[in-house]
Amino acid sequence: MRGYGNSTKTRYRARDVQKEIAGLTRAFTIGETRVIYCIDTDGYEKDIEHKREFDEIRRYCREGGYDLIWFCHDVEDVYLGRRISDSAKVQEAAAFKRKRKIEEMDLDKLTCNTEKVHTSNIVNVLDQCLSRR
């Protein structure tokens, strides 16, 4: 499944996205198929519109039986501990990968149940889907 990275957070409701999800889940007949939405929370605690949007996405996922991975405030904030300008994201991601920084991550930051700055629930969700070595 492809990501819808540069589109708005409300893209999840678009008819073509829903059609693609339905088609892909029907295509996998063996085993369990799960839909996982990944979003940045942005400044949800300071911006009422972001909070409303986040709550709607959370409700949509719960009602649809989808998993939701969130990054507070954004993925770079979680993995790098700071915000990154759009123009520097590719370069920062490449350096993160090259330096194997994922191995230095504090697991506590990736196993949160509530949204706090520099945290995510990614490991909690992936632990439900995958087996760790």
Q: Are the beta carbons of 51 and 44 closer than 8 angstroms?
A: yes
Q: Are the beta carbons of 49 and 92 closer than 8 angstroms?
A: no
What is the span of the domain harbouring residue 106? Answer: 9-128
pLDDT digits (tens, 9 = 90+) for 18-61: 999 999 989 988 888 899 999 999 888 899 999 999 999 999 99
Question: pTM (2 decimals)?
Answer: 0.86
The pair of structure tokens assigned to 28 is: 């996998």
DSSP H or E segment with residue 88: none
Residue 34 counted as domain residue: yes
Q: Domain total for the chain? A: 1
Residue 133 counted as domain residue: no
pLDDT digits (tens, 9 = 90+) for 78-106: 999 999 999 999 999 999 999 999 999 99
Residue 64 counted as domain residue: yes
Strand partners, 39: 70
Residue 2 counted as domain residue: no
pLDDT for position 32: 84
